[in-house]
């Protein structure tokens, strides 16, 4: 079988904790490109120690960044690898065989996501798949945040998994949610979307309960509960930021949303709840009681959308206190 050359593309921004393993995983390829958005940590220093081509480009959106790197690749077959992902030899061999057979114009890759202390099996953060192996003459990205691969041709599936280490610590994961929610809010704002009270009420809770119950997130223990709760937080953040873009809130804490949410996280980290009275059920009950305290007893219900958002954020802070206590007891913080 004739060898078909492959280029691996790794998009980066401040990925010093993960980039080394990604570059090691890309060693099977004929070319490796790191497309960096001007990292301020040691990402590029680490990358320069490997045989890879480094491109620096100011970030505008995920699709444009990756499409730029794809055009710079010298080979037709491209594998897109995030910096926090890793490939084992079994998948590397399947990639090489797939491009040599040339049966499809793109291939979908199965993925397992690691969160806190385990690979998740359920919820939207459980096992998933993404189109990552592409022929660049037939494929391109569209979309600002959760970019979508457009393929002009058939799509195959490789059976081996790649592994996604999405979690390093709770604060980093929270910051990632804040970054994505900002992009999503701008995307909705550009489409003239508005934030209604009903959306704040239904969307975040619907996302959480849908993943936690209907998609079986509860089967993954505290890790599953935390990942699904984080996803609900991300939805709330998106709609609060959209409201800020449309009609500036008078609530100063919500005007500086990311700073405020990180200050709540800082408090939670320094005030962990290590011995909740009801064990696992405290993770569901205490945040709910905290919401009731702020929304009803402290009068946030009179502040409309702002009051609801603030009450939600304080209840989420209580949840983080419980998670930090759980992590500290297990030496995972």
Assign 3-class secondary structure to 88-104: CHHHHHHHHHHHHHCCC
Average pLDDT over residues 235-259: 93
**Does the structure show a pLDDT above 80 at 146?**
no
Q: Which of 78, 84, 183 is nearest to 131 (CA)?
A: 78
Residue 53's beta-bridge partner residues? Answer: 33
**Does the structure show a pLDDT above 80 at 64?**
yes
φ, ψ at 79 (rounded to 5°): -120, 125
Contact 162, 86 (CB under 8 A): yes
**Does the structure show a pLDDT above 90 at 166?**
no
Q: Which of 9, 37, 13, 41 is nearest to 23 (CA)?
A: 9
Average pLDDT over residues 17-30: 95
Average pLDDT over residues 137-152: 89
Please, which pLDDT band fits residue 167 given cuts at 50, 70 and 90?
Answer: confident
H/E segment holding residue 132: strand 128-135
CA 57 to chain centre: 21
Please, which pLDDT band fits residue 145 given cuts at 50, 70 and 90?
Answer: low
Instruction: State how far the Cα of 11 lies from the Cα of 34, in Å rounded to an integer.
Output: 6
- In angstroms and rounded to an integer, the radius of gyration of the C-alpha atoms of the chain is 21
**Does the structure show a pLDDT above 80 at 1?**
no
pTM for this model (two decimals): 0.89
Measured CA distances, 274 to 16, 78, 117, 330 (Å): 31, 47, 18, 10
Contact 57, 64 (CB under 8 A): no
Q: For residues 72, 77, 82 and 84, what is the CA-based torsion angle, rounded to 10 degrees?
A: -130
pLDDT given at position 123: 82
Q: Which of 246, 245, 232 is nearest to 309 (CA)?
A: 232
Q: What is the mean pLDDT of the chain?
A: 94
pLDDT given at position 125: 83
Contact 159, 110 (CB under 8 A): yes
Q: Left (φ > 0), alpha (ψ -120 to 50) or beta: where does 102 sit?
A: left
* Model pLDDT for residues 73-122, shown as the tens digit of each residue: 999 999 999 999 999 999 999 999 999 998 999 999 999 999 998 999 98
* SS3 (DSSP) at 5: coil
Annotated domain spans of the chain:
6-165, 170-329
**Does the structure show a pLDDT above 80 at 248?**
no
Average pLDDT over residues 294-312: 96
Instruction: State how far the Cα of 61 lies from the Cα of 67, in Å rounded to an integer.
Output: 10
Q: Which of 173, 4, 1, 184 is nearest to 78 (CA)?
A: 4
Q: What kind of fold does domain 6-165 have according to CATH? A: Spore Coat Polysaccharide Biosynthesis Protein SpsA; Chain A (3.90.550)
pLDDT given at position 124: 80
Instruction: State how far the Cα of 143 lies from the Cα of 47, in Å rounded to an integer.
Output: 28
Q: Left (φ > 0), alpha (ψ -120 to 50) or beta: where does 221 sit?
A: left
């Amino acid at each position: 079988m004739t060898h078909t050359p492959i280029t691996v593309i790794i998009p980066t921004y401040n990925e010093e904790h993960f980039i080394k393993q990604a570059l090691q995983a890309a060693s099977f390829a004929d070319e490796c490109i790191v497309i960096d958005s001007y990292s301020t940590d040691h990402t590029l220093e680490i990358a320069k120690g490997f045989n890879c081509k480094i491109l620096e480009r100011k970030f505008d959106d995920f699709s444009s960044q990756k499409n730029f790197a794809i055009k710079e690749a010298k080979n037709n077959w491209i594998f897109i690898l995030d910096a926090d992902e890793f490939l084992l030899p079994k998948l590397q061999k399947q990639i090489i065989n797939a491009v040599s057979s040339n049966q499809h114009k793109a291939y979908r890759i199965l993925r397992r996501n690691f969160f806190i202390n385990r690979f998740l099996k359920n919820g939207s953060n459980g096992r998933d798949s993404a189109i990552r192996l592409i022929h660049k003459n037939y494929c391109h990205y569209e979309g600002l945040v959760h970019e979508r691969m457009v393929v002009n041709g058939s799509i195959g599936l490789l059976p081996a998994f790649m592994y996604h280490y999405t979690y390093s610590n709770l604060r980093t994961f929270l910051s990632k949610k804040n970054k994505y929610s900002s992009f999503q809010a701008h995307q909705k704002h550009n489409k003239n979307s508005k934030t209604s009270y009903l959306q704040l009420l239904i969307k975040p809770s619907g996302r959480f309960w849908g993943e936690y119950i209907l998609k079986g997130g509860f089967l993954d223990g505290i890790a599953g509960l935390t990942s699904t709760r984080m996803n609900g937080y991300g939805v709330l953040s998106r709609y609060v930021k959209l409201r800020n873009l449309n009609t500036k809130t008078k609530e100063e804490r919500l005007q500086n949303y990311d700073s405020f949410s990180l200050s709540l996280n800082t408090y939670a980290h320094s005030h962990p709840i290590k011995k909740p009275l009801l064990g696992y059920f405290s993770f569901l009950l205490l945040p709910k009681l905290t919401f009731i305290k702020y929304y009803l007893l402290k009068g946030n219900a009179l502040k409309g959308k702002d009051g609801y958002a603030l009450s939600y954020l304080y209840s989420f802070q209580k949840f983080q206190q419980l998670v930090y206590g759980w992590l500290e007891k297990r030496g995972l913080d």
